Amino acid sequence: MSLYNFFYGSKHVHENSKQANPQGIRLFWSVVKWHFGRLVGLNVLFILACIPIVTIPCAMTAMSKVLGLFLTRRICYPLYHFRRAFIDEWKRSTAAGGALLLSLIALLIGAWFYPRMGLSFGWILGGLCLALAVLVLAASIYLFPMIAFTDLPFASLLQNAFSLSMICLPYTLVALAGSALILAVSYLGLPFTVVIMPVLGCSLIGLACNQAAWHALKTYVLVAQESDESSSQE
């Protein structure tokens, strides 16, 4: 496989990927099958983009852009679209994504800290923090694809992210379970599975989450946005 095909895929693969319209788990494996090299390249690109730490929200938005194009079978040049989404959406990514990720870190610290305080209600506070952390994690499934594919403002992004995580609860749970399974396989199988996360794991987790998010976006967000645009034109 050439370096070009590694990141962009071959013409033959692109033509075959148009011939079917799979859904659910078949869509997931279809993207993995036809874009395997691209997913590996995207995984490496994502990890490199996260190295400065503060760029993690921007990297997650950029990955969501590329994976969304894969899932919706649109033309995608991963390096180009990743870079454009990273640069163009850095303000909303940093504001909304940063707020969500900082909240998640604070809640996880609370879930670890409160049970160790020695107080009778410490476990209750720790459990509450853990439950809220799961809710924030669920909201993040929908937040970054919305940043990548809509022009919603900060408040609407966060409101929709939390709302969709509850409205589309079955999809949310499947995405969380799939992500947990990938992480479990990656780390419980050490040292034999040490290469999974650096090579492909982040892309697979992102693909599972973005597939869940796209059901919600197509059903609730993009339809509403198109209706608002039509009303304003009239």
38: tokens are: 């691209």
Angle at CA 119, nearest 5°, toward 116 and 120?
120
DSSP code, position 114: G
DSSP code, position 116: G
Residue with tokens 């894969």: 70
Residue 87 pLDDT > 60 = yes
Q: Is the dihedral of CA 8, 183, 103, 156 positive or negative?
A: positive
pLDDT of residue 82: 97
pLDDT of residue 10: 53
pLDDT of residue 157: 95
What pTM did the predictor assign? 0.84
N-terminal to C-terminal alpha carbon distance within the chain: 51
pLDDT of residue 51: 94
118: tokens are: 């020695």
14: tokens are: 């692109």
Among 14-18, 63-67, 89-93, 162-166, the minimum mean pLDDT is found in: 14-18
Contact in structure between 61 and 85 (CB atoms under 8 Å)? yes
Burial class (CB in 10 A: 0-12, 13-18, 19+), 99: middle
Contact in structure between 122 and 36 (CB atoms under 8 Å)? no
Nearest-CA neighbor of 65 among 86, 51, 47?
Answer: 86
Average pLDDT score over residue span 47-75: 95
**pLDDT tens readout for residues 114-133:** 998 888 888 999 999 999 99
Residue 140 pLDDT > 90 = yes
Residue 15 pLDDT > 50 = no
DSSP one-letter string for 94-108: IIIIHHHHHHHHHHH
